[in-house]
Amino acid sequence: MEEYMISNQGEIEEGIQKGINYILSRIKNGLCVEYPKRGQGGGGTIWPTACVGSALSNFGIIRDDMLQSILSQQNQSGGWGWNNVVTPDADSTLRVLEFLQKVDFQDKNIIKKGEEFVMMHQRKDGGFSTYLPKAWSSEEYPNQDGWSSSHPDVTAIAIDVLSKNKLSNKEALSKAQQYLDRYIFENGPVSYWWRTPMYIIHAANCVQIIPVVDDTISTSLALLQEAKHGIFDEKRINFLLSLQNINGSFQPSKQLKIPRPHEILGDINQETVSIEPDENSILSTSAAIVSLHKQALLPDNR
């Protein structure tokens, strides 16, 4: 098993090191599997692998096997999906594009195709949907208006990722920002796919009081948001470290929610929505080590 050593030892650094080593142990053939019981194809591979790759890049770890595995699974449409079986979507594609940015990938043709695929998901109101209308067929759910409507969580990531490309459509991104600002003003930081408000608070960099957080992902997002504003939070760090297991992983988080395909924001049945923990703790651990790293870099911790 490949290991990553950090020179300065301490409780935070030790937690980061153990977390990194756990993640590296979960990479098989360049891919990470998360939410293994969710959907077709044996769970998520491309989306979680891109997230993990982005996390590892913070520590100078760039795995060529991960990069090649992801590149090999780009769809003819230009996008990537949850895995290589299901229909490509904007959210997964954005996470791949984010990973490619972080590892300084230079093939502009591949990136352009991915960004063009994402832009196809911008709706009339300026927001970005996860799927295109009628992107896939289902006898059980012929109405897919929910999954193909604007999602604030996907829109926030789209603005962040696409704005880093100097050639991106500035008018389209401005329209997306207007949608996101209006949505948050009217509804608060409520995601379509995530239970915690911290997802949008962090992604959109909302300046507000941090809500109560009680699991790995929401706590990690809170620490990341605080780090953006130079706030070192020892109490929250200690809580996060208390969630780390002996094997280096952090406790799974029940934050991913799956509404029915026809359900739009504001009309989601909370009794039927599926709540999915990241059973392999890959996403929770990735979020935790990055948040601890960002906190450790703050002046108050030196």
**What's the pLDDT score for residue 143?**
80
Query: What whole-number distance in Å separates Cα of residue 282 and Cα of residue 23?
Result: 6
Whether 156 and 117 have beta carbons less than 8 Å apart is answered as no
Residue 220 token pair? 């990690």
Domains of the chain: 13-301 (1.50.10.20)
**What's the pLDDT score for residue 43?**
84
Closest to 287 measured CA to CA, from 80, 56, 67, 64:
56
Query: What whole-number distance in Å separates Cα of residue 280 and Cα of residue 43?
Result: 11
**What's the pLDDT score for residue 8?**
41
Residue 64 token pair? 């060529």
Instruction: Give, as one character, the DSSP assignment of residue 44.
Output: B
User: Mean pLDDT of successive 10-residue segments in the chain (302 residues)?
Assistant: 48 95 96 82 88 97 96 96 92 98 95 96 97 78 88 97 87 97 96 96 90 94 96 94 97 95 91 92 98 91 56
The DSSP bridge partners found for residue 274 are 258
Burial (0-12, 13-18, 19+ Cβ within 10 Å), 206:
middle
Task: Report the largest interatomic distance among the alpha carbons of the chain, rounded to a whole angstrom.
Answer: 58
**What's the pLDDT score for residue 208?**
82
Residue 214: partners with Cβ closer than 8 Å, 6 or more residues away: none
